[in-house]
Amino acid sequence: MLSTIIASVLIFGLLIFVHELGHYLAAKRAGIKVLEFALGFGKELIAWEKGDTRYTLRFFPLGGFCRLLGEDPDDRRQEGNFQDKSIPSRFAVIAAGPVMNFALAVLLFTLMYFFFLGVPQQHSTRIGEVISGSRAQQAGLQSGDVILSVDGVDVQNWQEVVSRINASPEREILLHLRRNGEEHIVSVTPAEQQGKGLIGITPVYKKFMFLPSMVWGFNYTWFFIKLIFVSFYQMITGAIPADVAGPVGIVAVVGEVMQTGLSNLFSLAAIISINLGIINLLPIPALDGSRLLFLTLEGIRGKPIDPQKEGFIHFIGFAVLIMLMIFISFQDIFRLL
């Protein structure tokens, strides 16, 4: 239980730190004074100052903020405040938080492939693993076999192997392969799954390849971004039931995933980071997306929204989000019990 709590705090802390760091770095680049960079909410545990910025570590770890000069109406006459900057500069500062969450997901997926999973060697037709109990194992295929042809058609890479096998569900095929310098012909019947033929083999995976791992990190991040948007749409339209987890539910998932290995924990942290980035881009009051919406309206209107009205909308949105988080947390607790 203690290890689950520690892992959860580290994951939440990392995601929030990276998000706020995006705002912080973009603000510094734009010449905006950062009054406070805080990790957590509530009572200050550690605090120090450097330059114009106060850095704080607070008691409650599930949160954080980057307070900029100019966010308070009384600061707006001072030099280096947020409101004096151009709309593109302010837009970049606000958007930098979610963007950093997506960048963190790419990094975590990259590290997962680099250190733990390895990158599939698509240019090769060598079998990396034969899944236990599969049609391939029953036919006598072994790890290290090099597939030369499928049903008499020569194959040059793993994608060609997969395509040929996928095209023959529940139909016997002949694999011409090389094993320990000798050539063999093996008969196997692919099992049908969702209209495709599968025999239960994987390519060779190679670790410690940084650039290919980064490519897979980008691809996996993009895959989950699309998947999450599709899931949101399906929940809104009622195609799938709404299933939302709060902090308590996420901690429970972290505990379960920890039992399956460190690579899956990296993957979970990346997926949560993507979710955090997407949710913050939604036009919900108090989140980055609503502030981006107000900036867009300012650009269209040619003048800013009344600061008092905008602040009131964000305050109401923040209150609603807190109540929603409490409600979801109670749901998570009842679900666990």
Kindly list the catalytic residues: 20
How far apart are alpha carbons 13 and 236 in whole angstroms? 30
List CB contacts of 132: < 8 A, sequence separation 6 or more. Answer: none
Cβ neighbours of 96 (radius 10 Å): 24
For residues 165 and 188, the answer to whether their CB atoms sit within 8 Å is no
Amino acid type, 143: S
- The candidate with the shortest Cα–Cα distance to 105, out of 28, 244, 220, is 220
Q: What is the 3-state secondary structure (H, E, C) of 128-165?
A: EEECCCCHHHHHCCCCCCEEEEECCEECCCHHHHHHHH
Tokens 């033929």 belong to which residue?
A: 197
